């Protein structure tokens, strides 16, 4: 019995369209490197740049240094969102972060993966939604197609491979329901 093996020489990603022109993508690469991946501290200017490149940004976004955003034109952010240091938003698909959500330092929002079951290792993409008041803890990974429900919490170092229910705390790899999230006044 012969077994098929991965053959990356036949990988074909032509179907994927990142949006924007090649010039716009090149310009964003430079802007991202200069102002987002760097220690540049000015939130207002970062909000301006994101909007300039097509992101839909609410008021009060805090975006710390050393953040990487692949395609701002595939990004929607609500009001009073916090994005911590070293966050990577690998938004091959739409990423929506709703109001009062927090993405802590070192978190990764990963919209793409490859189909390991196919010889051709096809690219697979899925949108990510972080609902109102949800919190992705430090060093977490949110996988393609995941929705963090309203006020859900993904604890430090956890990996969300499936959507999280609202007002629940999740932990582990893969993340499992731990307990209800109770918010006190």
Structural domain spans, the chain: 21-180
Q: Global pTM?
A: 0.95
Residue 179 in this model has a pLDDT that exceeds 80: yes
CATH topology assigned to domain 21-180: UDP N-Acetylglucosamine Acyltransferase; domain 1 (2.160.10)
pLDDT at 3: 74
Residue 46 in this model has a pLDDT that exceeds 60: yes
Q: Output the average pLDDT for the chain.
A: 96
pLDDT at 4: 83
**3-state SS of the chain?**
CCCCCCCHHHCCCCCCCCCCCHHHHHHHHHHHHHHHCCCCCCHHHHHHHHHHCCCEECCCCEECCCCEECCHHHEEECCCCEECCCCEEECCCCEEECCCCEECCCCEEECEEECCCCCCCCEEECCEEECCCCEECCCCEECCCCEECCCCEECCCCEECCCECCCEEEEECCEEEEEECCCCC
């Amino acid at each position: 019995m012969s077994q098929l093996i991965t053959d990356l020489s036949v990988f074909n990603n032509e179907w994927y369209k990142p949006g924007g022109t090649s010039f716009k993508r090149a310009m964003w690469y430079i802007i991202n490197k200069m102002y987002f991946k760097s220690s540049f501290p000015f939130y207002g200017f970062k909000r301006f740049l994101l909007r300039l490149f097509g992101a839909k940004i609410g008021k009060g976004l805090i975006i710390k240094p050393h953040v990487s955003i692949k395609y701002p034109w595939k990004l929607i952010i609500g009001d009073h969102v916090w994005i911590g240091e070293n966050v990577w938003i690998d938004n091959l698909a739409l990423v929506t972060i709703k109001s009062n959500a927090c993405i802590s330092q070192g978190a990764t929002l990963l919209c793409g993966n490859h189909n390991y079951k196919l010889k051709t290792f096809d690219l697979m993409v899925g949108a990510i939604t972080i609902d109102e008041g949800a919190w992705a803890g430090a060093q977490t990974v949110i996988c393609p197609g995941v929705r963090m429900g309203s006020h859900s919490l993904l604890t430090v170092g956890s990996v969300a491979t499936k959507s999280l229910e609202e007002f629940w705390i999740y932990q582990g790899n893969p993340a499992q329901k731990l307990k209800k999230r109770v918010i006190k006044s």
